[in-house]
Amino acid sequence: MAAMDRSVAWRSALLMGACVAVIAVVLGTTLDASFFRSWGWLAGPGVWAACALVVAAALGLHRGWTLLGAALSGLPSLAAVLADVHWAGTPLALILFGLWCGRLAARGDRDAGEARAVTA
């Protein structure tokens, strides 16, 4: 079994979920459905990537590796979108993202000069 920092795994998944939820609520209440039909293909992955950068900054993870993990963990959501059950893939994507970040932390993949402990 590969080494994992469970604390980082949980915190990254929860922070990512909270960040995505806040932005989804803001966008959902301020924009109409036509925006999402026209630009959802760009807005969704853009929000997912932006939130991954927030997680990387908050937890001191390497930005590039965290973005790669976000891209890979988002693939199950793509399948859900294609099946017209958009939010069904999000819980799995959050779990996969958390696992990815937990592995990064255990490997010591932190941003150079930005490795720091985050306490609760």
pTM listed for this prediction: 0.85
Q: Render pLDDT for 26-57 as a digit per residue (tens, 0 to 9).
A: 999 999 999 988 998 899 999 999 999 999 99
Question: What is the CA angle 55-116-8, rounded to 5?
Answer: 45
**What are the distances in angstroms from CA 4 to CA 10, 43, 99, 104?**
11, 31, 8, 8
Point out the residues of the chain with pLDDT beneath 70: 1, 109-120
Site of tokens 């990537």: 49
The residues spanned by each domain of the chain are 6-107
